[in-house]
Amino acid sequence: MFFRQRHMAYNAKPDKPDPIFAKMLQEPLGGQWGEISVMMTYLFQGWNSRGPQKYRDMLLDIGTEEIGHVEMLATMIARLLETSPVEAQEDAARNSLVGAVMGGSRIEDVLVAGMNPQHLIVGGLGARPSDSMGNPWTSAYTISSGNLLADFRFNVTAESQGRLQVARLYNMTDDRGVKDMLSFLLARDTMHQNQWLAAIQELEEDGLETTPVPSNFPQDLERTEVSYQFLNHSEGTESAQGRWAKGQAPDGKGQFTYVEHPPAYTEDEGLLNPVDPRTYGTPPKPVPPSAS
Amino acid sequence: MFFRQRHMAYNAKPDKPDPIFAKMLQEPLGGQWGEISVMMTYLFQGWNSRGPQKYRDMLLDIGTEEIGHVEMLATMIARLLETSPVEAQEDAARNSLVGAVMGGSRIEDVLVAGMNPQHLIVGGLGARPSDSMGNPWTSAYTISSGNLLADFRFNVTAESQGRLQVARLYNMTDDRGVKDMLSFLLARDTMHQNQWLAAIQELEEDGLETTPVPSNFPQDLERTEVSYQFLNHSEGTESAQGRWAKGQAPDGKGQFTYVEHPPAYTEDEGLLNPVDPRTYGTPPKPVPPSAS
Amino acid sequence: MFFRQRHMAYNAKPDKPDPIFAKMLQEPLGGQWGEISVMMTYLFQGWNSRGPQKYRDMLLDIGTEEIGHVEMLATMIARLLETSPVEAQEDAARNSLVGAVMGGSRIEDVLVAGMNPQHLIVGGLGARPSDSMGNPWTSAYTISSGNLLADFRFNVTAESQGRLQVARLYNMTDDRGVKDMLSFLLARDTMHQNQWLAAIQELEEDGLETTPVPSNFPQDLERTEVSYQFLNHSEGTESAQGRWAKGQAPDGKGQFTYVEHPPAYTEDEGLLNPVDPRTYGTPPKPVPPSAS
Amino acid sequence: MFFRQRHMAYNAKPDKPDPIFAKMLQEPLGGQWGEISVMMTYLFQGWNSRGPQKYRDMLLDIGTEEIGHVEMLATMIARLLETSPVEAQEDAARNSLVGAVMGGSRIEDVLVAGMNPQHLIVGGLGARPSDSMGNPWTSAYTISSGNLLADFRFNVTAESQGRLQVARLYNMTDDRGVKDMLSFLLARDTMHQNQWLAAIQELEEDGLETTPVPSNFPQDLERTEVSYQFLNHSEGTESAQGRWAKGQAPDGKGQFTYVEHPPAYTEDEGLLNPVDPRTYGTPPKPVPPSAS
Amino acid sequence: MFFRQRHMAYNAKPDKPDPIFAKMLQEPLGGQWGEISVMMTYLFQGWNSRGPQKYRDMLLDIGTEEIGHVEMLATMIARLLETSPVEAQEDAARNSLVGAVMGGSRIEDVLVAGMNPQHLIVGGLGARPSDSMGNPWTSAYTISSGNLLADFRFNVTAESQGRLQVARLYNMTDDRGVKDMLSFLLARDTMHQNQWLAAIQELEEDGLETTPVPSNFPQDLERTEVSYQFLNHSEGTESAQGRWAKGQAPDGKGQFTYVEHPPAYTEDEGLLNPVDPRTYGTPPKPVPPSAS
Amino acid sequence: MFFRQRHMAYNAKPDKPDPIFAKMLQEPLGGQWGEISVMMTYLFQGWNSRGPQKYRDMLLDIGTEEIGHVEMLATMIARLLETSPVEAQEDAARNSLVGAVMGGSRIEDVLVAGMNPQHLIVGGLGARPSDSMGNPWTSAYTISSGNLLADFRFNVTAESQGRLQVARLYNMTDDRGVKDMLSFLLARDTMHQNQWLAAIQELEEDGLETTPVPSNFPQDLERTEVSYQFLNHSEGTESAQGRWAKGQAPDGKGQFTYVEHPPAYTEDEGLLNPVDPRTYGTPPKPVPPSAS
């Protein structure tokens, strides 16, 4: 059960409207690596968690924090899309909405050409739950497998991709209000990258899971001769230079080897049998018409 | 430029057809964490790579290997869907295709109820590029950011989720041929988890990227007072027990602190200004009809 | 069974081409609240209807009318994308298609930057069955539940959102031909909003359905103590000022009450049991490796 | 900014596991009219609201309440998918996971055929953010237009469709724990249908919006002669019997008329001009090859 | 502008309900190659057509016919999902809806496990605009390029895939009413395959378009030395046996040749330049932190 | 099993960066008719093939070739998005990333407005697996039915639509490097159109499949009186002028006839029975509340 506090987590106030940047800022709101994705991912991982309660509580803490980040970004975008009532009043004589929205400057055509038309037509100058190209957010971005190590590895990825995108956006604007909010998100992403890395260490120290995930699967059931082989599948051997090609593997259970000319481990060419003619697939030889 | 060898990478031959397991096996083929996803992800990361050539070559090696894994799974599914020509012949008198497909056993109704109808109607008893619930594979599963540490963290996740799913499927069948193929995929996933962990170490040792990603962004531009704070957002303090709540952070650049009652860092309540009435959003007070 | 008449329902002829407005006009054609959505929704509601025939006939009337609206919008967009043969002839010497398409004016770069590239590359300067951001129309926008009151409420929404979008677009162009067509769509949306409101009254007067939908479900089976409570879940009590917080409810079956501090109605914290280790979820405590 | 309380809003505890009902219960969680949809819709409407604060606060109240409903349904589904640790222990000797999951009963094949395979393979016996057919939830289900009357009409629809689905599910199970939770959701849907109907009355009484939406658009700009006409587009005249075909329209601004043989209001047949041959569309007559 | 006739195009009445076949029959209704796809494709091709009017009229004829096929399939599915009122009456004492829907037979569990749950929960026992796995129909299935030869080739494909699917379904049921309707669809698909093949001949004879599409593009601008080469990219030379590897090409403009060992036509290895460090992509060498 | 060669298939080097053309070039990479689509389609058709081996080998040859085309386009796009390191250096003083990316020219605002924001924010100036409007590629574009004639008809369509799009793009740029690469793709599309047409001839000559697909279905089971009728469904009889309306059909098995006024072949109006009230659909008459 959840409650909402009146104040936002942090400032979300731009110096002035900027509909093109509003379009771009949809990416960290409703994009694959945006705030809706981490909000939903952490909440579902928490609700589905069957492990020790400290992990569950931690997941629900951070999932709840992320709802507030969604709130901040939605608010910022709605503000980047608004003009002051005064400006709107002054534009009352113009016969084009476009001018009013954009403030009537001479570059309005560029702005209209570059803004997200759904911001006006569909959302009425409000934030949209979509990415910067207008793709709706999809819950396929929500990852919850029941295995915390697999999921925490996803989480550290999400915070890395997310911080990367915010850092790129930070360089694309001079608006101090926008930069101020992004500086907060960057800091929280720093925390969360560290947090998930720490949580991975904790899981391993608690003996709950190690590499390879799932560690509980008996490794002798896998085809062990290829468990630590690097298989070269392209011309050139630059890939032999990395530590993935020699020395002890990170799981401490095997030694990497480099296979320059990987063999096929089978004589099987993948040829299929013909099937029932009543499925009307093309057979190896002509067949008479099927009966019903 | 690519070439195809006649033999597959490994065996992909079941003991006998099993259309319900064929449905489930679509997950590691065309699901979010299936072989198409890693094939496309590694190839795009390689083609887009602007870093040292050893990483690029390595990405293209493994991306190319994964095309062969897609091939094995597609072949296995097509075989799980087929009956022998002899059986089909014997069933010729029956007036229902279903019987022929399923071998005419008494549990055919269960099988028809449980199989993926598109395996027959759309694919003609061939593999589909979709997951176990029939969702088409989407390139949203392809991750390539230009930042190798962000991407390698994704890659180790993909191999973890993938191996987890294969391990679950291993326990859901008694077919020795299927188990044989899965044992090969499990081993390669072991390798690939280790490989990406090793690649992450290499990236850090090469000085190209560290935590927090992107490490090249000047950290003093972020709101540093919240960069290492754990913010408790839910009742209960179990989350205070983990190492994400105290001690040095994994990046070595800060100390975790636990904030039991996180403040709002702003007085801003997120209220918006009214906008131009010609957008027909609901205003704070009634307005007269707009002119055109 | 359907037939098509030679004339369109109304004019769909712009004064001149405008590829950027063509992009925007995709929203009322192929967007969530566009004409394809209402066409498909009303036809499916009609075909699936099991109620009195007057509703079924009415649904199929309006569904059929909407096919003609799709036709008008598609035609308008195709015309907004075309240049006259004369202009094309004159441009023959230019070596860029772009110039010809746009009429060779000096703002062509803005136009190319702002137009929908699929209008040219994919559709050959024809209308697309997509929205203004290029998302394909999806039948998830088609609502048909079998319950006419639930569906008519959707229909009045669709006509409201649709008229709202058309009104916004009306203000974004000075083209008299476009405005003429939009004035027809606005009028039909006025009719259709009224129509569905009238149909809701009729349903209620016919005794077929009332609030709460489905009214045929025995209300004493629901947890009646919370059936008319407004539960305050956020700081501030502005929400207590509305009529949803006190007085008789619109269904005439209860009195609204305002609960400033809503309780949890359970002691349940949502903790889950551990499960079979062979699913490889993270357990509360370490487990030995699973057997196959 | 949001906080989470330890207890759930209501009980979410089934009498016993039931994986097929777990599949069905995904619909009110992650389906088009499920709890994620209303949670996201109300929150976005609230954050984007520019109207009087009582509406904004009310939207955020109910949006926050719905997060808790998502929590209840996710928890219920995770529990419907679990077996007790004891049963899992007893099944340890079996070599099929399926047996363990299902409790080893003789109808296990039916259950495996009918359950959602992603519940096991992808989610590790946890809830999924998808509907009952496995379609991921999409933010296209989130409606926020900036116009509160258009949106409240959507909201009353959502609560109607949602209550309808829950009522259907109530009849498909005998599990008292499941029925108990559904009885709570049914009651809240009763409240919320009433609430949105009351909010619509309030909006109209506040003079902020009336039919037709948007009421601020000058109605004399629409093609008024068709603003109150019912246009018969199908054989049969049953549709003439409803109140949408005669009498005063609900907006009080016009009289319905029934047009049995609706005319085309244009001579326009929708024929298009030929275009620039360099777009390679099929022209009315052969053209010579284009130059580059 | 369109009108609807009272009678359907053909019978759509099953002998008896069959919810599992109803699920399968969604494929020719709302699947990729179903009736909605051809309806929308032909209508859009017609509306967008800029070629001779006989093609436009023909496209709109057949597009309009297909609306009637959608109607037939929707009606059939709704009937496959219904029980007689008498049965429903008799089942009134049962406390499970499931029994009533299915007729109370002992195989009800199989049926519930195998049916599409959305047919009941979402659609109220009506047809859905989705395929047999529940994927919503998407307008990505609608093809309209402006080039009639490219599009007619698509159309003959659509009628081929469609007839193939209907033929497979014909063999999966013994219901005479269903088979009767399918026999009509099969015949129309026969007509339509022939029709599009005839239309392709007509287009070529009219001199409007020939192979290779678009024939109006000056072929000397392409890299002509590879215009008729078969490039062998896989082990084995079985592909040398077909007529695609030798003799005159179907367009009459070149001779096929078989290249057993295709060369790379470039020395380019696809290596990329490093980019601006402010995009935070991984560079070839470490860079100092970026400034803002 | 696949291997990668160091050199690309052909040159993919533009004269200079052009981010707006990079956006457009996503269409032939990740669009519906782009290289990913044909790569996946041919590989799946090959792996699923149960016909003569020459077809299977040929499919896998061309499928493998297409992987190389994906590589070329991805490389070209990544290069269209890059600036030289020197330019980046020079721009170091500017405080906007945008300037650096675009080379600091005065039209930068146009370019930023027109480019794909995900190229920078998400992909770090690398190619995306999406189309020109940012829609992710979906495997719904992958066609494999098991029937080679149905599929080869699709393949010739794909090469026609693909070559059409590339020809349009060829006219939208003056960059010689881009035009050079496109000239190669145009030539290969010429080959592939011819190849599939030749393969269709081969299939028919081999006696494996003819019109109507599937030819193995006994044609006397279809409703033969409508198998060769052209049914006029729209006003006007221009459609009577084509060869689809008279003369022998292309399959040589029937004579086309033109039906100016097509009858309904049934008296059935599609009316449905009422259903079980416990599904809460709207019934023909009021019903008492249901029991649970």
Closest Cα in chain D, distance from residue E21 (Å): 15
- Confidence at residue C83, expressed as pLDDT on a 0 to 100 scale: 64
Is the pLDDT reported for residue E149 higher than 70? Answer: yes
Domain edges within chain F: 19-205, 222-259
- Confidence at residue C110, expressed as pLDDT on a 0 to 100 scale: 59
For chain E, how many residues are written? Answer: 292
Task: Say yes or no for a CB contact (<8 Å) between B170 and C279.
Answer: no
Contacts of B167 in chain C (CB under 8 A): 280
- Confidence class for position B290, pLDDT limits 50, 70, 90: low
Q: Is C236 annotated as a binding residue?
A: yes
- Confidence class for position E83, pLDDT limits 50, 70, 90: low
- Confidence at residue D212, expressed as pLDDT on a 0 to 100 scale: 98
Query: What is the mean predicted confidence (pLDDT) over F110-136?
Result: 91
Model pTM score = 0.94
- Confirm if B211 and A194 have CB atoms less than 8 A apart: yes
- Confirm if F22 and A253 have CB atoms less than 8 A apart: no
Report the Cα–Cα distance between both ends of chain A, in Å, rounded.
59
Contacts of D5 in chain B (CB under 8 A): 234-235
Tokens standing for residue F4: 């990668």
Task: Say yes or no for a CB contact (<8 Å) between D282 and E50.
Answer: yes
Q: Which segments in chain D show pLDDT lower than 70?
A: 83-112, 289-292
Q: Which of A60, A78, A129 sits opposite D142 (nearest CB)?
A: A129
- Confidence at residue D82, expressed as pLDDT on a 0 to 100 scale: 84
Provide the 3-class DSSP secondary structure of residue D98.
helix
Structure confidence by residue, pLDDT tens digits, B238-284: 999 999 999 999 999 999 999 999 999 999 999 999 888 889 999 99
Nearest residue on chain B to A79, alpha-carbon basis: B272
Q: Most confidently modeled of E157-166, E233-242, F19-28?
A: E157-166
Q: Which of A60, A125, A142 sits opposite D146 (nearest CB)?
A: A125
Contacts of F131 in chain A (CB under 8 A): none
Task: Say yes or no for a CB contact (<8 Å) between C280 and B170.
Answer: no
Q: Is F232 annotated as a binding residue?
A: yes
- Confidence class for position E114, pLDDT limits 50, 70, 90: confident
Task: Say yes or no for a CB contact (<8 Å) between D125 and A139.
Answer: no
Closest Cα in chain E, distance from residue D207 (Å): 36
The dihedral formed by the CA atoms of F163, F169, F173 and F176, expressed in degrees to the nearest 10: -20
Contacts of E291 in chain F (CB under 8 A): 92
- Confirm if A147 and A213 have CB atoms less than 8 A apart: yes
Q: Is A57 annotated as a binding residue?
A: yes
DSSP string, E135-173: PBPBGGG----S-HHHHHHHHHHHHHHHHHHHHHHHTT-
Residue B184: name the closest of B54, B43, B9 by CA.
B9
Is the pLDDT reported for residue F223 higher than 90? Answer: yes
The average confidence (pLDDT) of chain B is 90
Q: Which of D98, D134, D148 sits opposite B133 (nearest CB)?
A: D134
Task: Say yes or no for a CB contact (<8 Å) between A157 and B163.
Answer: no
Percent of chain F with pLDDT over 90: 79
Q: Which of C170, C179, C278 sits opposite B171 (nearest CB)?
A: C278
Interface of F with B in 113-172 (CB under 8 A): 122-130, 136-140, 142, 144-147
Q: Which of A120, A153, A239 sits opposite B58 (nearest CB)?
A: A239
- Confirm if A177 and A15 have CB atoms less than 8 A apart: yes
Is the pLDDT reported for residue F71 higher than 60? Answer: yes
> How does pLDDT run along chain A (292 residues), one tens digit per residue?
999 999 999 999 999 888 889 999 999 999 999 999 999 999 999 999 999 999 999 999 999 999 999 999 999 999 999 864 444 334 433 434 444 343 433 344 556 678 899 999 999 999 999 999 999 999 999 999 999 999 999 999 999 999 999 999 998 888 999 999 999 999 999 999 999 999 999 999 999 999 999 999 999 999 999 999 999 999 989 999 999 999 999 999 999 999 999 999 999 999 999 888 888 999 998 877 664 4
Contacts of C189 in chain B (CB under 8 A): none
Element (H, E) at C230: strand C229-231
- Confidence class for position B83, pLDDT limits 50, 70, 90: low
- Confidence at residue B27, expressed as pLDDT on a 0 to 100 scale: 98
- Confidence at residue F104, expressed as pLDDT on a 0 to 100 scale: 39
Contacts of D43 in chain A (CB under 8 A): 70-71
- Confidence class for position F36, pLDDT limits 50, 70, 90: very high
Task: Say yes or no for a CB contact (<8 Å) between D1 and A4.
Answer: yes
Which residue ranges of E make up the annotated binding site for Ca(2+)?
Answer: 57, 61, 232, 234, 236
- Confidence at residue F17, expressed as pLDDT on a 0 to 100 scale: 87
Q: Which CATH class is domain E19-205?
A: mainly alpha
Backbone angles phi, psi at B154, to 5 degrees: -65, -40
Nearest residue on chain F to D276, alpha-carbon basis: F168
Contacts of B20 in chain D (CB under 8 A): 112-113
Task: Say yes or no for a CB contact (<8 Å) between B217 and E280.
Answer: yes
Nearest residue on chain F to B58, alpha-carbon basis: F4
Beta bridge partners of residue B58, listed in sequence order: none
Interface of A with B in 33-52 (CB under 8 A): none
Beta bridge partners of residue A21, listed in sequence order: none
Q: Is C46 annotated as a binding residue?
A: no
- Confidence at residue E202, expressed as pLDDT on a 0 to 100 scale: 97
Report the complex ipTM: 0.93
Closest Cα in chain E, distance from residue A90 (Å): 36
Nearest residue on chain A to F6, alpha-carbon basis: A235
Structure confidence by residue, pLDDT tens digits, A142-189: 999 999 999 999 999 999 999 999 999 998 888 999 999 999 999 999
- Confidence at residue E101, expressed as pLDDT on a 0 to 100 scale: 42
Please check whether residue C176 touches B, CB under 8 A: no
Interface of E with D in 220-279 (CB under 8 A): 221
- Confidence at residue E245, expressed as pLDDT on a 0 to 100 scale: 96
Please tell me the distance from the alpha carbon of residue C59 to that of residue C49, in angstroms, as a whole number.
9
Please tell me the distance from the alpha carbon of residue A229 to that of residue D169, in angstroms, as a whole number.
52
- Confidence at residue A94, expressed as pLDDT on a 0 to 100 scale: 41
Structure confidence by residue, pLDDT tens digits, F86-120: 443 344 334 344 443 434 333 445 566 788 999 99
Closest Cα in chain B, distance from residue A205 (Å): 11
**Chains contacting D (3 or more CB pairs within 8 Å):** A, B, C, E, F
Q: Which amino acid is at C280?
A: Y
> How does pLDDT run along chain C (292 residues), one tens digit per residue?
999 999 999 999 999 888 889 999 999 999 999 999 999 999 999 999 999 999 999 999 999 999 999 999 999 999 999 864 434 334 433 434 444 343 443 344 556 678 899 999 999 999 999 999 999 999 999 999 999 999 999 999 999 999 999 999 998 888 999 999 999 999 999 999 999 999 999 999 999 999 999 999 999 999 999 999 999 999 989 999 999 999 999 999 999 999 999 999 999 999 999 888 888 999 998 877 664 4
Structure confidence by residue, pLDDT tens digits, B15-32: 988 888 999 999 999 999
More confident residue, E139 or E115: E139
Structure confidence by residue, pLDDT tens digits, B207-217: 999 999 999 99
Closest Cα in chain A, distance from residue F165 (Å): 21
Q: Is D66 annotated as a binding residue?
A: yes
Assign 3-class secondary structure to chain F.
CEEECCCCCCCCCCCCCCHHHHHHHHHHHHCCCCHHHHHHHHHHHHHHCCCCHHHHHHHHHHHHHHHHHHHHHHHHHHHHCCCCHHHHHHHHHCCCHHHHHHCCCCCHHHHHHHCCHHHHHCCCCCCCCECCCCCECEHHHCCCCCCHHHHHHHHHHHHHHHHHHHHHHHCCCCCHHHHHHHHHHHHHHHHHHHHHHHHHHHHHHCCCCCCCCCCCCCHHHCCHHHCCEEECCECCCHHHHCCCCCEECCCCCCEEEEECCCCCCCCCCCCCCCCCHHHCCCCCCCCCCCCC
Contacts of B171 in chain C (CB under 8 A): 278, 290, 292
Percent of chain E with pLDDT over 90: 80
